Structure 1
Amino acid sequence: MATIHDVALRAGVSVTTVSRVMNNRGYISETTRSKVFAAMDELGYQPNEIARSLLRKQSNILGLIVPSVSHPFFSELADRIEYYAYLKGYKVLLCNSQLDPVKERDYIEMLRRNRVDGIIMGSHTLEVDEYRNLRSPIVTFDRQIGEDIPYISSDNYEGGRLATERLISQGCRKIAHICGNLQLDLLANRRTDAFRDAVKRHGVEHLIIQTDMNVFDQARYEQLLRELLTANPEIDGIFATSDIIGAFAIKECEFAGKRVPEDVKIIGYDDVNAARWFTPELTTIRQPIDEFGRMAVEVLSKQVEGEPVEIATSLPVELIVRGTA
């Protein structure tokens, strides 16, 4: 197996010069750089990334923990995080927690052992103290877990207000809100706060239906919505806390013989790409997923470099009117 000394000998340079080329440090002429890379190719030399990270005290690897990459919001978010991380010279290790605290803890330990430069947390099943004790740069999504730990969210209250006011303005008089389990301490619960305030302000009859603790159990959505529409045939508006729930609402309205939007108006949340695949297309609240990814990488990279960062980053949302409301 070729070593760095073999590369130096083949390129006709010192070991120090080869090291500087690999780590992109100091001035190296393009001629010398080309010689070193050519020698590496000829010898099939692969740098020892672990040794290099120990030397630099930086791995250029970020950890990303999400509940489920199969969920459209988190798959699109992971895509944007990987994109912006790569632009800054980072690779990303993706971990699915499946909302299992044991699995989430195992992944955190794995990321720590692999000396990742920082962790982006989109899953929150562990106790707050376990995050605080990471001793690594960290940024979280939609959960505030400490005064000194940065977090990124969108304006959840405004999103809930926009959705509810839209349904009311379209004539809905009995609205069902399908949300995540409110026992989870998430900033997304502010959507439900806004819903309550709006229906109370307008005197509109309403229901709030919470999903199970595993809010990503999509099979449960179908059953939940079918039971809701059977028990409450007078419902004429649904505010779903995700586009996936909104999609199931369209399907179950059709099953119940209800027309969308004539009989039941539906608004989702997130504006994932799939929101435009349904018939009718889903009216929804757009979260800035691309900006989420960019900001997550920026906040984390600043921490890695020892630069100051804002603890709270809240991004604006937008009502996207399509065919369901």
Structure 2
Amino acid sequence: MEMAAVTIKDVAKRAGVTVTTVSRVLNNRGYISEATREKVYRAMKELNYQPNEIARSLLRRRTNILGIILPTVAHPFFSELAFFIEYYAYEYGYKVMLCNSQLDQKKEKEYVEMLRANQVDGIIMASHTLEVDEYLSLKLPLVTFDRQIAPDIPFVSSDNYLGGTLATNLLIDRGCRKIAHICGNLRLNMLANQRNRAFVATAQARKVEYVTVETDLNVFDMRQYDTLVLRLFEEHPDVEGIFAGSDVIAASVIKICHQRKKRIPEDIKVVGYDDVSIASFLTPQLTTIRQPIEDMGRLAVELIHKQINKEAVTVENVLPVTLVERETT
């Protein structure tokens, strides 16, 4: 004869409390004294009661799942960012669904629809493919990375303008008379474009020659970087300093310099951006602008969590960057 499944009523009876009280304990809602909480937990343990996660999420009208949309997790910056988002999401009691948009509009749209269908509690969006209307129409808690899509939707970025200024000034201070910035495609409406504005403004103010080299629209396709660096050296053989838009681009610069017998830092000085873990593994070790990736991931989760709980949030969240000088300058 099969045992009847233990219900929330059985737990309430065993603990000597109401069904509402048990429900509050399960859903962490309202004030419950520690003694009552202990009684309910003890009753659940004695009866081996397993709360139904689906029933609980329906009760709360929440799934405790967050969607993350990234351009590609293969890029070290986004893999590190995803790691910290997942880590802090879990600390807050959320699981994550990870989606790579790969700059494919159709794919990103399908992912957005999937997240909507799965009734995620919120979305952290670090891609820049879809028109913003797709996201605004979701009516879900939303946080964007390095991109401001509406006056009331919070975004997280680092201080891109300061980063560009620090990198450019360092190259000039180290004696470079002609400098280049290899950056993402400036047609994309990203806050990272401010790095190039800072590069140009600083180079002009300090009266050095400068050139900007942009990636194609698929900014994080790492296969194109070698070609861009080679083209820069072909067209501007007299360049003495390079500000790379990421540490991965800087790694490509170091490799091509090695192939072309250009010495770093004697012939060419290089500054990267991000300070992902590879920066200190390269030879020579890379001078770079450090983005506080862990803080950015933690803050994104905190902003989503606050919105889910109907708490006020700050819209503009710009975190400080720091110059980490190593061997390439």
TM-score calculated relative to the size of structure 1 = 0.92
Per-residue deviation at 1:183? 0.6
Give the 3 Å change call, closer, same or farther, for CA 250–37 of structure 1 in structure 2.
farther
Instruction: Report the counterpart of residue 261 of structure 1 in structure 2.
Output: 265
Cα separation, 2, equivalents of 1:224 and 1:40:
63
Cα separation, 1, equivalents of 2:127 and 2:3:
42
Per-residue deviation at 1:50? 3.2
Per-residue deviation at 1:48? 4.0
Matched, 1:5 2:6: yes
Cα separation, 1, equivalents of 2:277 and 2:211:
28
Cα separation, 2, equivalents of 1:277 and 1:78:
21
Instruction: Report the counterpart of residue 115 of structure 1 in structure 2.
Output: 119
Cα separation, 2, equivalents of 1:102 and 1:126:
9
Q: Name stretches of at least 5 consecutive residues in structure 2 with no aligned partner.
A: none
The correspondence of residues 67-86 of structure 1 with structure 2, limited to 5 A, is: 67-86=71-90
Matched, 1:30 2:38: yes
Residue identity over aligned pairs, in percent, reads: 55
The Cα offsets for residues 110-132 of structure 1, whole Å up to 9 and x where unpaired, read as: 11111111111001211121121
Instruction: Report the counterpart of residue 149 of structure 2 in structure 1.
Output: 145
* Aligned length in residues: 321
Instruction: Report the counterpart of residue 70 of structure 2 in structure 1.
Output: 66
- The answer to whether the 8 Å contact 2:168/2:202 transfers is yes
Cα separation, 1, equivalents of 2:246 and 2:204:
22
Give the 3 Å change call, closer, same or farther, for CA 237–6 of structure 1 in structure 2.
same
Secondary structure class of the residue paired with 1:13: helix
Give the AA of the match of 2:14: V
- The answer to whether the 8 Å contact 1:18/1:36 transfers is no
Instruction: Report the counterpart of residue 51 of structure 1 in structure 2.
Output: 55
Secondary structure class of the residue paired with 1:309: coil
Per-residue deviation at 1:23? 2.8
Cα separation, 2, equivalents of 1:192 and 1:219:
22
Q: Name stretches of at least 5 consecutive residues in structure 1 with no aligned partner.
A: none
Per-residue deviation at 1:158? 0.6
Per-residue deviation at 1:283? 0.3
Per-residue deviation at 1:88? 1.5
Per-residue deviation at 1:91? 1.5
Give the AA of the match of 2:183: C
Match of 1:251 among 245, 249, 255: 255
Matched, 1:89 2:93: yes
Give the AA of the match of 2:321: V
What root-mean-square deviation, in Å, do the aligned CA atoms of Structure 1 and Structure 2 show?
A: 2.2
Give the AA of the match of 2:208: V
Give the AA of the match of 1:211: T
Instruction: Report the counterpart of residue 282 of structure 1 in structure 2.
Output: 286
Cα separation, 1, equivalents of 2:24 and 2:227:
60
Cα separation, 1, equivalents of 2:312 and 2:39:
39
